[in-house]
A and B are shown apart, each in its own frame.
Chain A
Amino acid sequence: MKLYWSKTFSTLGPSLIQGIGVVIYVTVFGFLVSLVISLLLAIGRTSKYKILNRLLVLFVELIRGTPLLVQFFYIYYVIPMLCDAFFMLFGIKTGLQIKPVVAGIIGFGINYGCYMSEVIRSAIMAVDPGQREAGLALGYSERQVLFKFIIPPALRNSIPVFGNYLVMMIKDTSLLAMISVQELLLRTKTFASQTFLTVEAYTLLALVYLVISVPLSRVSVVLEKKLKHRGK
């Protein structure tokens, strides 16, 4: 079997570098959205209103109980159709479409937001109750205590786990090939089907993922060690 590495590098290589741009774009925004969603969910779960709590649990279970890929399809194909149907009730034609990249960011935001909210929630519960009492005793309100003395250490303790989720998200961007985002897998698939350089193409693809995710994992391990230094 003859392998054409140099051709693969020179043709697929530049395309993959562009693809990395897409991956970084989706991951950065997807991760930011998921951070916001996870924080909102976790704070909502500390609420004393039982109904809100139940609804949020239900939502998180719904998302965690279905595959990410299905959610991408749902957001990309189903949501626009539902919106259309809804607005048709009022006689408005929307012709709404969601860009694949945007669907990806929304999907990551919601899916990872749900998983990460559980991380933050358990970190919140792990904060020494003495911190809350000290804040209250000084005259802070429950809300001030939550935002000043409970969430900051909880987030800080969640950072190493967030690191793992970030690496997972980068790898999960390959799922976006299924909704036609021009990320790494779709580019490789196209190249392979045109050139039949299947072995070279997919090997290169795997290497590119490794080159991105291994250093990031290392960074999160180092970060974890550094953060361990102070506080609980």
Chain B
Amino acid sequence: MAMMQIKNLSKSFDDLQVLRDINLEIEKGQVVVIIGPSGSGKSTMLRCLNLLETPSGGEILYQGNDITKLGKLVTDYRKHVGMVFQRFNLFQLHTVLENVMMAPIQLNKMGKTAAKEKAMELLGKVGMKEKADVYPDTLSGGQQQRVAIARALAMDPEMLLFDEPTSALDPELVGDVLEVMKRLAADGMTMIVVTHEMGFARDVADRVIFMDEGYVVEDEPPEVIFTNPKNERTKEFLSRVLNE
């Protein structure tokens, strides 16, 4: 059984329909990259997957359970699905180390020493160990994003959602963040990534999903979608972004 099954997912904001009848299955260990023009609904879909947006219709099955019916228990589900945001969203009043270790301590009842040890290990993994004791606003965007990834990893998630993780970064800082993401993918993490980084999609993704006007237009392995897209809209979009 697929780790996550999305069935007939739809989402409207008042009169505006943003997602229309989305059906997807995501297998454990897969790296799924979602691309598409802005306003195509890709971020909204990602945010529906951990219920930061409430779907208007359809089901999202995680390990067979419909998460849209969890009610208050959604907090337990979210502990298993980490999220990395475009604007990092680190807790500004806490140091880098506290950002990474507080959720395991407060939500998973992890001991302080163990949590700290683990946080330091994760910070090492993303190359931010030396900055453990500084506050987020002294870091560059790329550094903040790497801390945000460590923070998400600290909860031992089974799946990670990335919402345009490099879009707010200066071009020279994008590489470090992508490098960390590539290593995660290589380690077998299940990842759903909304991004404009076509290079990342081509090199790392198992599947690339092209969305437009709220529909999933195409869902293919990268070698197919980048060399031989079937749909006209995909072709047009790719020729636009790849020739920039």
Contact = CB atoms under 8 A, between A and B. Distances in A.
Interface string B202-216: 000000000000000
A59 interface: no
B137 A231 contact: yes
Contact of B89 (A130, A141, A230): A130
B103 interface: yes
Contacts, number: 69
Interface of A: 128, 130-131, 133-141, 144, 148-149, 152-153, 156, 230-232
Interface of B: 50, 52, 72, 75-76, 78-79, 81-83, 85, 87-93, 103, 106-107, 135-137, 148, 151-152, 155
Nearest to A137: B83
Given A130-B87, A230-B137, A137 B82 contact: yes
Shortest 4 CB-CB distances between A and B: which pairs?
Answer: A231-B92, A139-B79, A130-B89, A134-B89
A141 B137 contact: no
A38 to B, nearest CB: 20
12 contacts: A128-B87, A130-B85, A130-B89, A131-B91, A133-B85, A134-B85, A134-B89, A137-B152, A138-B82, A139-B103, A230-B137, A231-B137
A136 B83 CA distance: 10
Contacts of B152: 137-138
B93 A139 contact: no
A194 B75 CA distance: 71
Given A139-B76, A140-B103, A141-B72, A231 B82 contact: no
A232 B90 CA distance: 11
B151 A138 contact: yes
A232 B135 CA distance: 12
Given A133-B52, A230-B135, A139 B78 contact: yes
Contacts of B89: 128, 130-131, 133-134
A137 B52 contact: yes
B164 to A, nearest CB: 13
B92 A138 contact: no
Q: Among the interface residues B83, B92, B135, which one has the most CB atoms of the partner chain A within 10 A?
A: B92
Nearest to A129: B89
Nearest to B51: A136
B79 A134 contact: no
Contacts of B155: 138-139
Given A134-B91, A138-B82, 4 more contacts: A130-B89, A133-B85, A138-B155, A153-B92
B75 A141 contact: yes
A139 B75 contact: yes
B90 A230 contact: no
A136 B52 contact: yes
Nearest to B103: A138
Nearest to B91: A149
A137 B135 CA distance: 21
Contacts of B91: 131, 134-135, 149
